[in-house]
Amino acid sequence: MTLSVVVITKNEAAVIARCLASVAWADEIIVLDSGSVDDTAEIARQHGAKVTTYTDWPGFGPQKNRALALATGDWVLSLDADEWVSAELHAEIANVCAVADHCLAFRIPRQSSYCGRVMRHSGWWPDYVTRLFKRGAAKFSDDLVHEKLLVSGITGTLAQPLMHEAIRDLEQAIRKMDAYSSAGAESLARRGRQASLFTAIGHGAWTFVRTYFLRRGFLDGREGFMLAVSNAEGAYYRYLKLALRQK
């Protein structure tokens, strides 16, 4: 069985080498770049990746489907540029690809860090993501953000975690919150959703309570509080941007 790794990128020079080095054992590495202005594409080529560039941006789901269409392996592992595969996860992937007889996809627990701290609560652990699948058995949803893998069959579960440096510093958290809230507002508008200032306040407040209290973010220390506030701001601005679009 052969394995293709697919990664979508834009200006990921700071992290792409770690990602690709962790899957150097794959039969094929596909990098679909969205017009990076840093050294992302060159670094990817240095790690043996086949690099293709599309300068338009249709959203995360459609872009990942573009990358998926370029893969030729029997199995596909979809990664984000800020993720990497440990030796233990590599061994488990190799095993299930060789012996899997009824599962068409596998979900993987993801161990994520926020501003340098590995998060064990706050809804971030175990953060299962379905990323390993037989080619032709799955595709990504067309969501602009928070895309999902749609599998036409049974999905199994792996034990070893996928490593993920979700947020490196507060500046990145703010940039990502702004970008994701804009994409989220666009997605809601396409589905005909309505919002107001009070809707935005309500979603923001509920998101903080859910992250910090119900999902025990307070056990993640200072970073748990920071993440709860960041999540709340993201929800608040998503619905506020939707309300302003309607105006």
Q: Work out the pLDDT band at 16, boundaries 50, 70, 90.
A: very high
| Same domain as 175, residue 159 | no
Q: Report the chain's mean pLDDT, rounded to a whole number.
A: 97
| Same domain as 149, residue 52 | yes
CATH of the domain at 117: 3.90.550.10
Give how many domains the chain has, as a whole number.
2
| CA-closest candidate to residue 148, choices 212, 181, 105 | 105
Q: 206-230: per-residue pLDDT in tens?
A: 999 999 999 999 999 999 999 999 9
| Same domain as 177, residue 150 | no
- Alpha helices (runs of H) in the chain, residue ranges in sequence order: 16-21, 40-46, 60-70, 87-99, 170-190, 197-209, 221-246
Out of 62-66, 74-78, 97-101, 192-196, least confident range: 97-101
CA distance to 6, 26, 65, 79, 215, per residue, from 149 (Å): 14, 21, 10, 12, 24
Q: Find the domain containing 222 and state its range.
A: 169-246
| Same domain as 177, residue 110 | no
Q: 161-202: per-residue pLDDT in tens?
A: 999 999 999 999 999 999 999 999 999 999 999 999 999 999
Q: Decide: helix, strand or coil at residue 184.
A: helix
- Residue 230: which residues within 8 A CB-CB, separation 6 or more? 167, 173, 177
- N- to C-terminal Cα separation, the chain: 54
| Same domain as 114, residue 47 | yes
| Same domain as 181, residue 150 | no
Model's pTM, two decimal places? Answer: 0.95
